[in-house]
Amino acid sequence: MAVSKNLEEFIKNLVTAITGYKLEEISSLEERKKVIYECVELYQNFIIDYVKETYGPKDAARLKANKQFANQNVFTKFPDLADKTQDAFKAFIQTLKAQK
Amino acid sequence: MNSKLVEKMKQKNKMAENPEVTQSVSKDKPNLLKQLGQWIGNKVASIRERISNIGKPKSVEMIEIDSLRAIDDVERQALNDKSTLESSLTSLTKYEDGVASNSETSPVQIDNSHETTVEPIEDTASPNEEAAKPDVKAELQAKEAENRAGLESLRDSPKYQASMSNPELLRQNPQISAWQAEMLRELNEKESQRQTQMKEEKAAKKLEAFKVYLSDLAKQPNSDSEKLINGKTASELLEIINTTGGVESIIADNKQQLSLAEIEVSNIKINLKNFMSNTKTNKLISEYISLTKTLEKGLKDYRTTQNQKESTRLYYVINDARGKLQDLNEGDKFDENIGIYERNFVQKLAKAEEGLQAAQKSQDFINTHLSSN
């Protein structure tokens, strides 16, 4: 399945944001894939954990469902979830910056 | 130069922080952020350390600069485009094929010609259906995720733990949905698989120990004369185990031997009963047995007694028994009946009982050394 250009760019930047390395600086393709998955897992788990602790398990469950089934309409179905996720995302960014 | 750039970027990032978020999160959830921060810190350190060993050499300052720049980019992208934020939370496994087939230089660069192509290709429903379908789907998926979360907490509860011993009861509980019953079935299946695996591991360990035991026995001087299972010696058993790769054939053989011996003993006893049910034969044989016993006991007591009076009495008892046996011997068809009794029952039963005892002894040996319990 194809990845959208925006998402592709986002994932590349996410990996660099977390690791400090650009993808092309990792020579092994296998290792590169591993790092992508690790970083995406880390990011997604952070968002879901944050939403669960801050807004409750129901919203976290909806995000988990989104993660498990790649449902692209979860924000349409639950509009408040978009704001909550954005809040979680900001917390994620804030936490990443705090690591520096 | 680079240090200045890092400081500059840090400052810039600090100013860019959303005050609302900072306020709400830092004030209301300081512990949460602290915990998540520690967790993410450990994870990041571990990933970085690994990359530093396999990636191109890079200075710490450059790592910081690239990281801070990317944080900026990622923040801008997600906050300006909700669909990117939304799709960033979907599973990457959905794109595994694409990632795997990607070029060496960019594993995530799959399809530049598409702007938003994460929707399933096979979805060809009409616009109305398209609008309605994902809603239902999303609802179902959210429901399922909720159920999963509910089940996770249910699994930790003492009530559930207690119910695990009686899954049927749990299934009958109307509060538990069909989905949970299905999950429970899966859990039980997994548990059963785990138990089977444990049993197999235990059996494998036992088999190894048994082989060592047999090897030790085989080294003993008289091991060739000592029959352990089914009349086989330690060396013979070892050979079977090494040939067949296990003890299953030995256990099955002995089981069969045991069954056959039990049937044999039982058949002989039934036939004997039928034989003895003939009044004439019964009387004859009973008399023969009684006289034989009297004679044997009389002779034994006669040899051991010191009492003269008792000795005389036994002398008469023995003579009487001998006389009566002689009379029986001369009687009609006595030889024939006694012959049948001796050959068909006494001898055969003794042999069959001996076989049964040997099979039982073998079974005891198997139970001691190979029982899975």
Query: What does the pLDDT look like over B270-279, one tens digit per residue?
Result: 888 887 777 6
pLDDT band, very low/low/confident/very high, at B107 (cuts 50, 70, 90): very low
Query: Which of chain B's residues have a Cβ under 8 Å away from the Cβ of A72?
Result: 83, 86-87, 90, 118-119, 134
Mutate to test the interface with B, among A30, A54, A97, A99 (most CBs of B within 10 A): A97
Nearest CA to CA, how far is B161 from chain A (Å)? 22
User: Phi/psi class of residue B57: alpha, beta or left (left: φ > 0; alpha: ψ in -120 to 50)?
Assistant: beta
Is the sign of the CA dihedral A86, A89, A95, A99 positive or negative? negative
Query: Which of chain A's residues have a Cβ under 8 Å away from the Cβ of B7?
Result: none
Greatest pairwise CA separation for chain B in angstroms: 132
pLDDT band, very low/low/confident/very high, at B49 (cuts 50, 70, 90): confident
Q: Phi first, then psi: give them for residue A19, nearest 5 degrees.
A: -95, -25
Mutate to test the interface with A, among B108, B116, B147 (most CBs of A within 10 A): B108
Distances (CA, A) of B66 to A15, A41, B267: 10, 21, 90
Q: Which of B368, B370, B351, B372 is nearest to B250 (CA)?
A: B370
Find the range with the poorest average confidence among A72-76, B113-117, B185-189, B289-293. Answer: B113-117
Of A38, A68, A86, the CB nearest to B79: A86
Using the Cβ of B252 and the Cβ atoms of chain A, whether some distance falls under 8 Å is answered with: no
- Structure token pair of residue A80: 């408040």
Model confidence pLDDT, tens digit, residues B188-241: 787 788 888 888 888 888 888 888 888 888 888 887 778 888 888 888 898 888
Residue of A nearest to B113 (CA): A5
Other C-beta atoms closer than 10 Å to the C-beta of B160 total 15
Nearest CA to CA, how far is A81 from chain B (Å)? 10
Contact between residue A46 and residue A92 where contact means Cβ atoms under 8 Å apart: yes
Of B106, B112, B120, the CB nearest to A23: B106
Distances (CA, A) of B217 to B118, B178, B213: 68, 57, 6
Which of the residue ranges A63-77, B36-50, B153-167, B341-355 has the most confident prediction, judged by mean pLDDT? B341-355
Q: Which of A50, A83, A22, A1 is nearest to B85 (CA)?
A: A83
Query: Which of chain B's residues have a Cβ under 8 Å away from the Cβ of A46?
Result: 36, 40
pLDDT for B113 = 31
Of A1, A66, A82, the CB nearest to B95: A1
Other C-beta atoms closer than 10 Å to the C-beta of B132 total 12
Of B41, B62, B78, the CB nearest to A89: B78
DSSP structure string for A23-61: GGG---HHHHHHHHHHHHHHHHHHHHHHHHHHH-HHHHH
Of B47, B137, B149, the CB nearest to A57: B149
pLDDT for A89 = 94
Mean pLDDT of all residues in chain B?
72
Contact between residue B119 and residue A71 where contact means Cβ atoms under 8 Å apart: no
Contact between residue A76 and residue A88 where contact means Cβ atoms under 8 Å apart: no
pLDDT band, very low/low/confident/very high, at A91 (cuts 50, 70, 90): very high
Using the Cβ of B205 and the Cβ atoms of chain A, whether some distance falls under 8 Å is answered with: no
DSSP-derived secondary structure letter, B95? G
DSSP-derived secondary structure letter, B97? H
Q: Which of A99, A23, A65 is nearest to B145 (CA)?
A: A65
Q: What is the three-class DSSP state of B92?
A: helix
Cβ pair A71:B68 closer than 8 A = no
Contact between residue B329 and residue B335 where contact means Cβ atoms under 8 Å apart: yes
Using the Cβ of A88 and the Cβ atoms of chain B, whether some distance falls under 8 Å is answered with: no
pLDDT for B190 = 78
Greatest pairwise CA separation for chain A in angstroms: 41
End-to-end CA distance of chain A: 35
The whole model's pTM is what? 0.40
pLDDT for B4 = 56
Of A16, A17, A47, the CB nearest to B89: A47
DSSP-derived secondary structure letter, B229? B
DSSP-derived secondary structure letter, A84? H
pLDDT for A18 = 92
